[in-house]
Amino acid sequence: MTAPAPTLSRSSPAAPAAGPAPRYTSALAAVTTLFFLWGFITCLNDILIPYLKAIFQLSYSQANLINLCFFGAYFLMSIPAGKLVARLGYKKGMLLGFVVAAIGAFLFYPAAAQRAYGLFLGALFVLASGITLLQVAANPYVAILGPPESASSRLSLTQAFNSLGTTLAPLLGSALILSRLPKLSNATSAAAIDVSAVQLPYLVIGGMLLLISLVLSRINLPVIAHVTDDDTTGSHHQSAWQYRHLALGVVGIFAYVGAEVAIGSHIVNYLALPNVMGLDATAAGNQVAFYWGAAMVGRFAGAYLLNKFSPAKILAFNAIGAVILVLISINTTGPVAMWSLLAVGLMNSVMYPTIFTLAVAGLGRHTEEGSGLLCTAIVGGALVPLLFGAIADHGGLRLALLLPVLCYAYILWYGLRGSRRLVA
């Protein structure tokens, strides 16, 4: 027995009769723009980390405070955002998220003017709080906007455009930011270094966020109302935490985001190692695009494959592929070490949308709460890279890569066993 499909109610009683497919199509097209932009914003962190690390002469652990502030916002804001979306609705939740994210982007200007690392971290937290609200609203909206059996495919397709953003961000970031990375000496002080390279990009991002928010406010999105049945057993849970597959999925999202961000944030430094490729910052930054580009290709392919094969089995297959590729990179040098690590992006491709849709399946009226919990787990993008950085500071980047291997091993188990819908 499958989970009951959500019911659709039109946002305007006077709207002419129309089939659900065209309305679903226009709604998905509108929401897809959100996925692209927040992918672009998130991946710029991979450029900010080596840039600010050099500017302020930070250790790996200190540089990863960028990820702590950005992804820590998911931990602090996701549950409140879930409650806010449940009250305001998906569309108003997304609009509010755009405004908050735009404010965070604009705060990069004074942060650069003051040349203060702490202000950069604060701006990132505000920006990420807006992105959190967008994630909490948009992910379950896509998942339930159509037949439940194709939810993983729909979310994978929209996530593919998220990956398009993450593919373009390193290229533009390298050209606009890393290309202006100065040659530092021990006598160089942070106050004497020009950090204005980040001002214009984030001003443009803030303007784009407000523009898309304005366009979205004019689009008539269908209103989704959940039916009251909760899961395949027919029982009625009082809390989303009572769903075993959701609780384990929260850990899965934590592991996936942590592994993906830990690798992506350190590719520039990894490829600069003499026994890997010995690339300079700009050349290495350009290679990051292949990591996220592989994820984009995989998600477009996944939008098709997830309709043909079991999402849980595809998740397990990709997880074991990621484990093998990381281990190859750890134990090789030169181009093999580089390309095997970059290819992990292909394995990452369908993990988030598949874990997410497997975890929210059958939640019914608890869907928004479940989405908030899953987005809270994105804090893995803050904590896992911090631990990764600590290991790298003491044992090197190759040893630190064993941490993502452990994360992918858990995802493998979740695909095979943990995603089964049982009563907790």
From first to last of its 424 residues, the chain has per-residue pLDDT tens of 333 333 333 333 333 333 334 456 666 776 777 778 777 877 777 777 777 777 777 787 787 788 788 878 878 887 788 788 878 887 888 889 889 999 998 998 888 888 778 888 898 899 889 988 887 787 777 766 667 666 667 777 777 787 788 778 777 877 777 776 655 444 445 555 566 777 788 888 888 888 888 877 887 776 665 544 444 444 455 666 667 788 899 999 999 999 998 998 889 889 989 988 988 877 887 888 888 888 888 888 887 887 788 888 999 999 999 999 999 999 999 999 999 999 999 999 889 888 988 887 777 666 667 777 887 888 888 889 889 989 999 888 999 999 999 999 999 999 898 877 765 4
Q: What's the CA gap between 119 and 198, in Å, rounded? A: 13
At the top level of CATH, which class does the domain 19-418 belong to?
A: mainly alpha
Which H or E run contains 119? helix 117-144
Q: What is the pLDDT of residues 380-403, one digit of tens each?
A: 888 898 899 899 998 889 999 999
Q: What's the CA gap between 120 and 97, in Å, rounded? A: 20
Q: What is the pTM of this model?
A: 0.69
Half-sphere exposure of 362 (CA within 13 A, CB side): 23
Residues contacting residue 277 through CB under 8 Å, at least 6 positions apart: 271, 284, 334, 335, 337, 338
> In the structure, how many helices (H) and strands (E) does the chain have?
19, 2
Residues contacting residue 343 through CB under 8 Å, at least 6 positions apart: 294, 325
Q: Smallest Cα–Cα separation from 356: which of 315, 323, 321, 409?
A: 315
Q: What's the CA gap between 325 and 343, in Å, rounded? A: 7
Q: Do 306 and 350 form a contact (C-beta atoms < 8 A)? A: yes
Question: What are the residue ranges spanned by the domains of the chain?
Answer: 19-418
224 Rama sector, left if φ>0, alpha if ψ -120 to 50, beta otherwise: beta
Q: What's the CA gap between 338 and 408, in Å, rounded? A: 19
> What's the confidence (pLDDT) of residue 259?
94
Distances (CA, A) of 124 to 121, 151, 387, 390: 5, 31, 20, 22
φ, ψ for residue 373, nearest 5 deg: -65, -45
Q: Which DSSP state fits 309?
A: S
Q: What is the pLDDT of residues 283-339, one digit of tens each?
A: 887 888 888 888 888 888 887 887 788 888 999 999 999 999 999 999 999 999 999
Half-sphere exposure of 415 (CA within 13 A, CB side): 25
Which neighbouring-strand residues pair with 9?
A: 223
- Helix, strand, or coil (residue 308): coil
